[in-house]
């Protein structure tokens, strides 16, 4: 069985008394962790210095984007959320909703936002949310998230980058393919812009941010694997 690698790392900030806890989730579709580590990606790699992470975790079969993102955003596997293919047929988000639903139910004053290059995440998985935005490029994802960080007060913000997956399908998912590596490096530049916008928030010193970064699947030269 071919291994489909999935990277997941968590960056924890210790919450001091009076700080606001917030979450920033960076989703990078189709990013192999060995390719991430082979790339010039100082921002994503820099997060590893103070992180809990795995570079060799395995996702469940089937390795569709609908399945992977549903599992991460609902907190249950495909046998419960039901997203077995990208058609989203026979899903059960009513019983196993996106975690934004649970946040909004617990505290409606918390602000939640989702910005996606792959629109079905917002259209199919996200329900309760203060703002969900589908955009057509990864650069537009970066721009919208920067705008939200500057102008709004998000408690939880999810973003989805898709160009790495596009490159993988076009040229192959491999750390030995320059075009695939370049797509990761471009995404890393966008992540750097986001982290800078985060640090420039006027109340940053009173905030405690949990930063998570993950992919939905890795890949082989011929596809998801």
- Band of residue 58 on the pLDDT scale cut at 50, 70, 90: confident
On the question of pLDDT at 114 being above 50, the answer is yes
Q: What are 176-181's contacts with CB under 8 Å, separation 24+?
A: 177/221, 180/35, 181/35, 181/38, 181/39
Tokens representing residue 68 in the block: 């992977």
Q: Is 13 helix (H, G, I), strand (E, B) or coil?
A: coil
Q: 95 burial class (0-12, 13-18, 19+ CB within 10 angstroms)?
A: exposed
d(CA 206, CA 44): 24
Domains in the chain: ranges and CATH: 5-154+163-202 (3.40.720.10)
Per-residue burial over 41-64, b if 16 or more Cβ lie within 10 Å, else e, is bebbeebbeeeebeeeeebeeebb
Tokens representing residue 222 in the block: 């011929």
For residue 23, the cross-strand partners are: 156, 210
d(CA 31, CA 35): 7
- Band of residue 7 on the pLDDT scale cut at 50, 70, 90: very low
- Angle CA 103–138–65, to nearest 5: 60
- Band of residue 62 on the pLDDT scale cut at 50, 70, 90: confident
- Band of residue 225 on the pLDDT scale cut at 50, 70, 90: low
Chain centroid to Cα 74, Å, comes to 13
In angstroms, the Cα distances linking 105 to 88, 97, 145 are 24, 11, 24
- Band of residue 19 on the pLDDT scale cut at 50, 70, 90: confident
DSSP 139-198: HHHHHHHHHHHHHS--SEEEEEE-HHHHHHHHH-S-TT-HHHHHHHHHHHHHHHHHHHHH
- Band of residue 59 on the pLDDT scale cut at 50, 70, 90: confident
Of the candidate ranges 59-68, 77-86, 158-167, the one whose mean pLDDT is the lowest:
59-68
In angstroms, the Cα distances linking 100 to 46, 65, 170 are 28, 19, 33
d(CA 115, CA 128): 14
């Amino acid at each position: 069985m071919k291994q489909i690698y999935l990277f997941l790392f968590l960056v924890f900030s210790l919450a001091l008394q009076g700080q606001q806890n917030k979450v920033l989730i960076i989703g990078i579709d189709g990013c192999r962790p060995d390719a991430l580590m082979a790339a010039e990606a100082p921002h994503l790699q820099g997060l590893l210095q103070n992180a809990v992470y795995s570079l060799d975790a395995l996702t469940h079969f089937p390795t569709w984007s609908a399945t992977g993102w549903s599992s991460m955003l609902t907190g249950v596997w495909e046998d419960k959320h039901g997203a077995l293919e990208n058609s989203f047929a026979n899903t059960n988000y009513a019983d196993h909703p996106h975690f934004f639903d649970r946040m909004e139910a617990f505290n409606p004053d918390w602000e939640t936002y989702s910005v996606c290059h792959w629109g079905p995440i917002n259209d199919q998985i996200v329900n309760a949310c203060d703002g969900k935005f589908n955009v057509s490029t990864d650069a537009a994802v970066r721009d919208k998230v920067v705008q939200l960080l500057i102008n709004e007060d998000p408690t939880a913000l999810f973003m989805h980058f898709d160009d790495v997956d596009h490159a993988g399908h076009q040229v192959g998912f491999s750390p030995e393919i320059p075009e695939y590596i370049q797509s990761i490096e471009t995404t890393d530049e966008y992540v750097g812009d986001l982290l800078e916008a985060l640090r420039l928030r006027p109340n940053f010193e009173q905030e405690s941010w949990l930063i998570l970064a993950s992919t939905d699947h890795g890949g082989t030269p011929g596809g998801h694997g």
